[in-house]
Each structure stands twice: as C-alpha cells, then as structure tokens.
Amino acid sequence: MTRSGCSRGAELSGASHRLAPVFIAFEGGDGAGKTTQIQLLRDRLVAAGREVVLTREPGGTPLGQQIREVLLHGDHVAPRAEALLFAADRAHHVATVVRPALERGATVLQDRYMDSSIAYQGAGRELDPAEIKGLSLWATEELLPDLTVLLDVTPELGRARRGEVHDRLEQEADDFHARVREHYLALAADDPGRYLVVDAGLPAQEIAARVAKEVQL
C-alpha cells in the first residue's frame, strides 16, 4: 500500500523549495462537521501559499455526481451493489482528480475516502470489512492518504446536528451508525500513525487548531 509520498511537517511548512504533495482525508459519521473542518484547513493552507484541491466521495467528478444521486437519494440499493458503486466512483475519482492533483504538487483535502466504505458498507451493512478494503485498494491502486482526520461523533449527536433532512444512509437506525463509529475507531487504533482522532463534539475552532498542529501550520 502506498501513500502520496509526503512526510508530514516539512511539506506544509511554507519552505521555499518545491513542497511534496499531501493527501488528507476527513472521515467520520454523518453530522461530524467534516465540511467545516475542511474549509478551515483550506483557508490556512491557502494562506501558507499552497495550491489546495477540495473534493469529496462520492461526487467529486461529473460521473461521481450521478453515482452520488443514486447512492444517497435514490431507491433501495442492495448492499453489495452499494459497495461496488462506491468503489467505481472511487476508482474514477482517484484516476481523474486525486492523482493528477498530487502529481502536480497540490494538497488534496477530501471529504470521505475508502475508510467510509470499510465502515459503512463493511461494518454498517455487515459485509466483510476486509473484502471492502481490498476492493477499494484495488480500485485506487492502493493509494492511501498521508493523514486521515477522524472526527468522532456519536450517533445521537450526529442525528441532532442533521436535523430533519436525511439521505438514504443518514436515515439508517442508530445501531447502524454505532457500528460505523466503532469500526472507524478500530481502523484508527490499527494504524495510529495515519490518523488524528478528534472528538467532534468540541468547538469547531478547537478542532481546527488540533488539525493545524498535526500538519504543523
């Protein structure tokens, strides 16, 4: 398995030499505050002179937007078909957006990546998480983020933040979201060097400060 090729710290320090690319994924349950934190980190990186690409899965490409509509706002999708559609979106997205951005030296900040599939389809849908991981690794040619920021949110807090509007996955019962959360935390425990786990219940600026410290901004 390969990461984008950076070592965190020097690559974000604003040094005058050509900086290595950085691939940072934001993960967490629905309502964790990923969008807010991605925007706050983007602002810091742009101020430091970095080119930043913001993207998401599913939906980071025109094809992905169509897949997103089916997955999140369409009718029932069988669990294995759901996993395959997420993997198809990921394969196209990495090939056409993420890798080209990294190759030209940009920083990629992404809302969800393969850990979402492992947690949601593997644990949430009670498929085999190892098989879902293998599918995503094949789809992406084994590209892993340099850093994964896991915003840890309880199902209760996530539901309260989302209010009355829920997509097809958000409307699942709390036990589904509890399995997702537990598996996210297990993934982070298995690879602590790649993860920053932050309590999503903290104030947004405090979370942002912890993220900035991790990437030495």
- For residue 184, being part of any structural domain is answered with yes
Q: Residue 50 sits in a domain of what CATH number?
A: 3.40.50.300
- For residue 191, being part of any structural domain is answered with yes
- For residue 15, being part of any structural domain is answered with no
Query: CB 118: neighbour CB atoms within 10 A?
Result: 27
- For residue 62, being part of any structural domain is answered with yes
Spatial separation of the C-alpha atoms in residues 184 and 14, rounded to whole Å: 32
**Where in the sequence is the domain holding 138, given as residue range(s)?**
2-10+20-214
* pLDDT tens series, the chain, 217 aa: 667 755 444 455 444 334 455 999 999 988 899 999 999 999 999 999 999 999 999 999 999 999 999 988 888 899 999 999 999 999 999 999 999 999 999 999 999 999 999 999 999 999 999 999 999 999 999 999 999 999 999 888 877 877 666 666 776 778 888 999 999 999 999 999 999 999 999 999 999 999 999 998 7
Please state the domain count of the chain: 1
H helical segments located in 79-199: 79-93, 99-103, 114-117, 129-139, 155-162, 174-190
- For residue 88, being part of any structural domain is answered with yes
